[in-house]
Amino acid sequence: MYNYLPDKMKKIMALFMAFLMLSLFTPLVREAESYGSNISEVERMMKQINETILRNYVQAIQNFGPHPTGSEACNALANYIYNELKRMKLSVRYDNWSYKGRCGKNIEATLTGRSLPNRTVIVCAHYDSVLVSPGADDDGSGVSAVLAMARAMSEHTFNSTIKFVLFSGEEQGRLGSHEYVRKVHEKGENIAGVITLDGIGYAVSSEDGSRIKNLVSNESSWIYDISMKMNEIYGKYIGLEIIRLPNEPISDHQSFLDYGYDASYFLEYRIDPYYHTSEDKIEYMNMTYLKKVSRLAMATLAFMADSKQGVSNDDLKIKIKGSILSYPAQLTVGIENSKYEEDTANLTIKISMKNLFNGEYVKGPYNTTCNWTFSKEIRDYWEFRTISRSYGIQFFVLDVIIDGFNDDTGIHKEKKTYGVTFFTLILLIPSL
């Protein structure tokens, strides 16, 4: 029927349809744009991390043969890594160390942040091997991942500074990382978070290839949370189940934890049976699995680096008001943000009172449980107050935990206060 309309009418209807389609789809375009270029930027970086690049790096590392710290092979491998990072137009330096009668050098490449250059996030691995091993999986897998990440990320800019660090001395007891962290701690560097990659390339079954272990302390759990979020958003590029495990001091992440920095450690789901043997070679590795873990680590690091966090743990103070609280047993918890003139803190505050001996939540009148959670934007001050007629008689621990969210994901602070309730009376023993 449309074909029999006059040409002028056809043009009018065509313009009308074009206007209608534009009206309908413009909000969708804007909505997609509102997610920002970061999503597509991360996707572009992920696509640059592929099996070919990772295989080439692992093969190059294996070709040096066994490379224990202090050996000529280890020094030659260090030069190879240094030159690869230099080729990416990053600022690269050697960090020479001497500790416990041994010496070596770490390699640090820096991608300076644009708006928060003094806030640093780190991804690291170790490039030394044990005496008999060519070290393809331990830790050629981690080194290749760091190099592939640096190659992809060096073409972009982030709010915070990113450092790609390769350690020697790990196999002798984390010697290189110990000295590296000691020195940056003495300089007062602001390291917001660390990702360690050590043994991430072995998988023989579909179950092995779809899971990754993440060892993380309670203080560093925010990094795990980011990894979970990235795995959800970029599932088609990653597709891993992240198994959270309690921290164990078995890799270089522990050096950062020892100095109070937050660190997360990724480890293959099934331990490589060729680990620390002469057969730790590329033919026993799974490059598809290594690619997925590398992409997960890179997405996590990119999110950490693009955080606009201005508030730190030191800017926040938890206050428990009073020490002897009487009827109606008023309990008050305050959170101060000393940096409120520059930045509002996005915080989740968890407050709980638990029986000191059985760990159960204290209950007030009407059987109410003393366990509260709030998610708030804190400017200068936020206060929580609860009033109870009676808590009975019991010893308790009052636990206040702060975790950041949105652009404050690096924040974690906790304060424990012990006390005793005697019906309508509460006696608090302030923590030191």
Tell me what pLDDT residue 133 has. 98
Choose the final residue of a domain: 306, 326, 354. Answer: 306
Q: Are residues 94 and 203 in the same domain?
A: yes
Q: Are residues 49 and 98 in the same domain?
A: yes
Report whether pLDDT(34) > 80.
no
Tell me what pLDDT residue 431 has. 61
What is the pTM for the complete model shown? 0.75
Nearest to 346 by CA among 384, 306, 308: 308
Report whether pLDDT(26) > 70.
no
Q: Are residues 25 and 67 in the same domain?
A: no
Q: Are residues 352 and 279 in the same domain?
A: no
Percent of the chain at pLDDT > 70 equals 90
Compute φ and ψ for 411, nearest 5 degrees: -90, 130
Q: How far apart are CA 82 and CA 96, in angstroms?
A: 13
CATH assignment at residue 127? 3.40.630.10
Q: How far apart are CA 347 and CA 168, in angstroms?
A: 38
Report whether pLDDT(241) > 60.
yes
Give the chain's domain count. 3
> In terms of residue numbers, what domain contains 416?
313-429
The DSSP bridge partners found for residue 369 are: 363
State CA 202 to chain mean position distance.
22
Report whether pLDDT(6) > 60.
no
User: Distance of CA 228 to CAs 123, 300, 329, 344, Å?
Assistant: 17, 9, 41, 25
User: By mean pLDDT, which of 54-68, 206-220, 318-332 is the weakest?
Assistant: 318-332
Q: Are residues 293 and 341 in the same domain?
A: no
Q: Are residues 347 and 279 in the same domain?
A: no
What spatial distance separates the first Cα and last Cα of the chain, rounded to whole Å? Answer: 85
